Chains A and B, each alone.
Chain A
């Protein structure tokens, strides 16, 4: 939710900056994700329009001759509302507006050294119809002297804390640290006419514990005043009219969703909260036709539904320009019932979002009165006498404060007074170790929930880290055996890959798998995630197909696969290329090491037809696969301890464009480490991203204590395909660098 900083300060008396308050809120458990707004750029100043002229090349543009008090300038402007004599905000070249920097631009052939700004460009509101005309300001002054952008904090409110979904609610949570400003007492001017003579309310469902209504007559629907529009827009709400805006304002202010009906459209002035018995088609306020299912909670008049309870009103009772009398609703609806309807309708609204998380049953009447007063203030009219009520406000729940166990679970010695103070500040009423839970807190049930409150409110730094007991060395489970197999295969020169657990329709066709044997995803967001793999081979074959820059490929994967009734860990190998070993050879080597039989493995060559289906252009593709569960118990390993190499890796992001590979052999002193040389190659040019030794041997013919060392070097360009000529250039840089560093001689 978005919170306006100045709005929070209406309930929280603090001198702290938005950043400090944001930190405090985060510390208390609600993460502030962003802070926007604040100071207007100093390069935006007050200018005066001297003359407005038509643009020579564009009908919709004008040229404004302006002065900043010192010099005169001409700027191009698209807004129709400018006239000579006006004072306007002028962004000079270099000023920052949102994420953009103002530059001297040529607009339809006329250059413009800066621009005049609308309210939106100033960051003051969403208004963008014309240039903001300034009053009572000094020519040439910085606009920031007069205006500041509203600071908006965006918070991630966790689903257990519905009570924070309003400005008052968030301010209340930080009140333990800051001084809280109480809600104003409301004095309503009511007319003599009784609301209960005008409207009746009846509840025919268990999912609405309480329903309150007020009636306001003879109002005049119109636009909201600017202050209200600005406030709503700043937190992302749209201004509609004075009545709807008032209900939205109260929701954002106090957290209670309200609804206004046009009383003229409520037949017999009867309000009945009930559940739908038979499916019915309705049109909601957003103009969408929807089918209401049996069991959904609705608000009805004498004959038909007029609102989906807690979610959205219906078009048939909408407040419009002709409305004069309204019925204002404030109710509590069952969280589960609202959630179910909202899910079934695939309709989540600001109201349903709050009802699903639980509203403050103790604050319903205040919210209703607040809205009634606000509507009467904005739209005129009289508030009829009294509140019409059905049902009862729920009693607050209680929890026993287990001081001993609060300290036991937290590991901190809190004094009783400290615990009580924290809870008191949060609105708990304590009597004899029993705490009455505030009506707005739907996340507190037991003493464990109080631990959270006490720890966060008294500060996490009170918790002094304490070591856990030493236990005996844990048992080596199958995980370690699987990792050993990976180590063996990489020691044979294979590369480990990891593929998605999914198969697409295309994969299923290419691999000739009967989809009837596969587990199927019911709701995939992406089409390719339709089935779960029953073998690792299709994934490996796709890897073989997709790596054009590598002639010889020897890869393996170890991962879980699925049939409709089983999940098991599979190991599979794929090889391809003229110099690559056959999968069978590798399996033979592996089986010797772990003392299992090759016959447990399924080993085969991929035929030409299947190669085509997988779009593989490489020759000699062979694969092998085994269900690990069957061989692991038979495997023998010398040592299961986990091998962790903490090598420094200089990672290079992979280019979108294909690389080129070069092979280089050098004669160097036999003491020189291949790793050091590899590092030097990578450092010699930024185009080299992958370097592998493929040959290393000593021979007398190279001279005393000399060796031959050969590297594959892959070069890539971030912006284009690596050309031969530029590769040559980079390669010669590498050769020069190795010569300097290691006296390495290129073997030609």
Chain B
């Protein structure tokens, strides 16, 4: 008779997957432990570039890494498939840092990738708009601003307002960098694409008013059974 409860992250990831499924995105899963190539170099993040410093990476003793974002699925999928394709990669990512109420070593991400002929920034902005409205409702106020990520050019961040009325980043995106397309074996002279990554944990915390991110992986049934 007792009702069971799905983990809130499961529920939130599903909502996102459903939204993208309706837009024709297929779910692809990539490994949590991956090579430096797929996690960094293939994504145009060379080891001698300061962009690497932004990530606090868990390095394994065998030289591999715990993926810092699910973007490691981009080149893994792209090198085995011919465009056009649309995928999302939901899953766990890792950050090697001390934790507190708003910082966690382990979090979820949904990465998206669309490669085709004539994909434009305008297409990316439309997809962002769809997604924001489907998650937060038609009246959601958000802003897009230019931002740099080495795996895209140009790159954009999406912010929404938090309870205090301050802009809070929830979404990174951009046009797939030609170097990344080349690493997939795709000709950037013919194809273009966009990619995005969003963190459902923050979205979930905002939606439910959760003030402690570490509860997510605490196994505390007082928390889990509320969902």
Q: Check A340 for interface membership: any CB of B closer than 8 A.
A: yes
What A residues does B94 contact at CB under 8 A? 501
Interface members, chain B 1-52 (any A CB < 8 Å): 1-7, 9-11, 14-15, 17-18, 21, 23-29, 31-33, 48-51
Give Cα distance in the complex from A463 to B122, angstroms: 6
Digit string of B193-207 for contact with A (CB within 8 Å is 1, else 0)? Answer: 000000000000000
Which among B27, B51, B222 is the interface contact of A159 at CB below 8 angstroms?
Answer: B51
B215 to chain A, nearest CB (A): 6
Q: Check A542 for interface membership: any CB of B closer than 8 A.
A: yes
Which among B15, B24, B48, B106 is the interface contact of A471 at CB below 8 angstroms?
Answer: B24
Chain A residue at minimal CB-CB distance from B34: A567
Chain A residue at minimal CB-CB distance from B46: A336
Chain A residue at minimal CB-CB distance from B96: A525
B54 to chain A, nearest CB (A): 7
> Which residue among B14, B28, B61, B226 has the maximum number of chain A CB atoms within 10 Å of its CB?
B226
Give Cα distance in the complex from A474 to B26, angstroms: 5
Give Cα distance in the complex from A489 to B116, angstroms: 39
Give Cα distance in the complex from A357 to B1, angstroms: 62
Give Cα distance in the complex from A567 to B182, angstroms: 27
Q: Contact between B126 and A644 (Cβ–Cβ < 8 Å)?
A: no
Give Cα distance in the complex from A652 to B220, angstroms: 13
Digit string of A670-705 for contact with B (CB within 8 Å is 1, else 0)? Answer: 000000000000000000011011111000000000
Give the size of the chain A interface in residues (CB under 8 angstroms): 109
Report if A546-B155 is in contact (Cβ < 8 Å); known contacts: A525-B98, A690-B226: no
What B residues does A564 contact at CB under 8 A? 62
Q: Contact between A160 and B121 (Cβ–Cβ < 8 Å)?
A: no
Which among A160, A494, A526, A539 is the interface contact of B105 at CB below 8 angstroms?
Answer: A526
Which among A31, A160, A479 is the interface contact of B17 at CB below 8 angstroms?
Answer: A479
Give Cα distance in the complex from A550 to B225, angstroms: 11
Digit string of A523-536 for contact with B (CB within 8 Å is 1, else 0)? Answer: 11110010010000
Q: Contact between B24 and A497 (Cβ–Cβ < 8 Å)?
A: no
- Binding-face segment, A68-76, A283-291, A302-310, A404-412: A404-412
Q: Contact between B60 and A448 (Cβ–Cβ < 8 Å)?
A: no
Q: Check B141 for interface membership: any CB of A closer than 8 A.
A: no
Q: Check A562 for interface membership: any CB of B closer than 8 A.
A: yes
Which among B1, B51, B219 is the interface contact of A493 at CB below 8 angstroms?
Answer: B1
Q: Contact between B226 and A644 (Cβ–Cβ < 8 Å)?
A: no
Which among A409, A465, A474, A521 is the interface contact of B86 at CB below 8 angstroms?
Answer: A474
Q: Contact between A567 and B146 (Cβ–Cβ < 8 Å)?
A: no
A431 to chain B, nearest CB (A): 24
Q: Contact between A490 and B122 (Cβ–Cβ < 8 Å)?
A: no
Interface members, chain B 102-128 (any A CB < 8 Å): 105-106, 114, 116, 118-123, 125-128
- Binding-face segment, A366-374, A452-460, A599-607: A452-460
Give Cα distance in the complex from A165 to B78, angstroms: 36
Give Cα distance in the complex from A429 to B99, angstroms: 48
Give Cα distance in the complex from A695 to B23, angstroms: 42
The interface size bin for chain B is 35 or more
Q: Check B136 for interface membership: any CB of A closer than 8 A.
A: no
Q: Contact between A519 and B5 (Cβ–Cβ < 8 Å)?
A: no
Which among B5, B86, B218 is the interface contact of A495 at CB below 8 angstroms?
Answer: B5
What B residues does A497 contact at CB under 8 A? 7, 219, 224
A731 to chain B, nearest CB (A): 18
Chain A residue at minimal CB-CB distance from B97: A525
Q: Contact between B148 and A524 (Cβ–Cβ < 8 Å)?
A: no
Q: Contact between A692 and B6 (Cβ–Cβ < 8 Å)?
A: no
Digit string of A718-737 for contact with B (CB within 8 Å is 1, else 0)? Answer: 00000000000000000000
Give Cα distance in the complex from A478 to B27, angstroms: 9
Q: Contact between B33 and A532 (Cβ–Cβ < 8 Å)?
A: yes
Q: Check A48 for interface membership: any CB of B closer than 8 A.
A: no
Q: Contact between A714 and B222 (Cβ–Cβ < 8 Å)?
A: yes
Give Cα distance in the complex from A524 to B57, angstroms: 9
What B residues does A522 contact at CB under 8 A? 59-61
Q: Check B56 for interface membership: any CB of A closer than 8 A.
A: yes
Report if A521-B61 is in contact (Cβ < 8 Å); known contacts: A501-B106, A689-B226: yes
Chain B residue at minimal CB-CB distance from A468: B123
Q: Check A227 for interface membership: any CB of B closer than 8 A.
A: no
Q: Contact between A460 and B208 (Cβ–Cβ < 8 Å)?
A: no
What A residues does B90 contact at CB under 8 A? 479
Give Cα distance in the complex from A653 to B209, angstroms: 8
Q: Contact between B224 and A496 (Cβ–Cβ < 8 Å)?
A: yes
What B residues does A495 contact at CB under 8 A? 4-5, 221, 224-225
B130 to chain A, nearest CB (A): 8
What B residues does A562 contact at CB under 8 A? 32-33
Q: Contact between A496 and B5 (Cβ–Cβ < 8 Å)?
A: yes
Chain B residue at minimal CB-CB distance from A460: B144
Q: Check B211 for interface membership: any CB of A closer than 8 A.
A: yes
Q: Check A717 for interface membership: any CB of B closer than 8 A.
A: no
Q: Contact between A649 and B226 (Cβ–Cβ < 8 Å)?
A: yes
Report if A546-B222 is in contact (Cβ < 8 Å); known contacts: A26-B145, A486-B10, A493-B3: no
Q: Check A138 for interface membership: any CB of B closer than 8 A.
A: no
Q: Contact between B58 and A494 (Cβ–Cβ < 8 Å)?
A: no
Report if A547-B114 is in contact (Cβ < 8 Å); known contacts: A467-B126, A560-B32: no
Interface members, chain A 185-223 (any B CB < 8 Å): none
Q: Check B140 for interface membership: any CB of A closer than 8 A.
A: no
Q: Contact between B1 and A694 (Cβ–Cβ < 8 Å)?
A: yes
What B residues does A161 contact at CB under 8 A? 148
Give Cα distance in the complex from A471 to B225, angstroms: 38
Give Cα distance in the complex from A448 to B98, angstroms: 38
Give Cα distance in the complex from A695 to B2, angstroms: 8
Which among A456, A478, A714 is the interface contact of B154 at CB below 8 angstroms?
Answer: A456
Report if A500-B56 is in contact (Cβ < 8 Å); known contacts: A495-B4, A553-B221, A714-B222: no
Digit string of A626-658 for contact with B (CB within 8 Å is 1, else 0)? Answer: 000000000000000011111001011110000
Which among B123, B153, B223 is the interface contact of A654 at CB below 8 angstroms?
Answer: B223
Q: Contact between A501 and B56 (Cβ–Cβ < 8 Å)?
A: no
Q: Contact between A409 and B121 (Cβ–Cβ < 8 Å)?
A: yes
Digit string of B168-209 for contact with A (CB within 8 Å is 1, else 0)? Answer: 000000010110000000000000100000000000000011
Q: Contact between A529 and B96 (Cβ–Cβ < 8 Å)?
A: yes
Which among A335, A490, A559 is the interface contact of B4 at CB below 8 angstroms?
Answer: A490
Give Cα distance in the complex from A483 to B12, angstroms: 12
Interface members, chain A 473-499 (any B CB < 8 Å): 473-475, 477-480, 483, 486-487, 489-499
What A residues does B210 contact at CB under 8 A? 651, 653
Chain A residue at minimal CB-CB distance from B116: A469
B64 to chain A, nearest CB (A): 8
B160 to chain A, nearest CB (A): 14
What B residues does A491 contact at CB under 8 A? 4
Q: Contact between A520 and B148 (Cβ–Cβ < 8 Å)?
A: no
Q: Contact between A408 and B120 (Cβ–Cβ < 8 Å)?
A: yes
Chain A residue at minimal CB-CB distance from B204: A651
Q: Contact between B7 and A498 (Cβ–Cβ < 8 Å)?
A: yes
Q: Contact between A694 and B49 (Cβ–Cβ < 8 Å)?
A: no
B74 to chain A, nearest CB (A): 16
Which among B7, B10, B126, B147 is the interface contact of A158 at CB below 8 angstroms?
Answer: B147
What are 6 A-B residue pairs whose CB atoms fall within 8 Å in the complex? A467-B123, A493-B1, A543-B219, A642-B21, A654-B220, A692-B3
* Contacts beyond the supplied A448-B153, A546-B220, A651-B208: 15 A-B pairs with Cβ under 8 Å: A159-B148, A160-B150, A408-B120, A412-B121, A468-B126, A474-B26, A474-B27, A480-B27, A498-B7, A525-B98, A543-B219, A546-B218, A642-B18, A645-B11, A651-B210
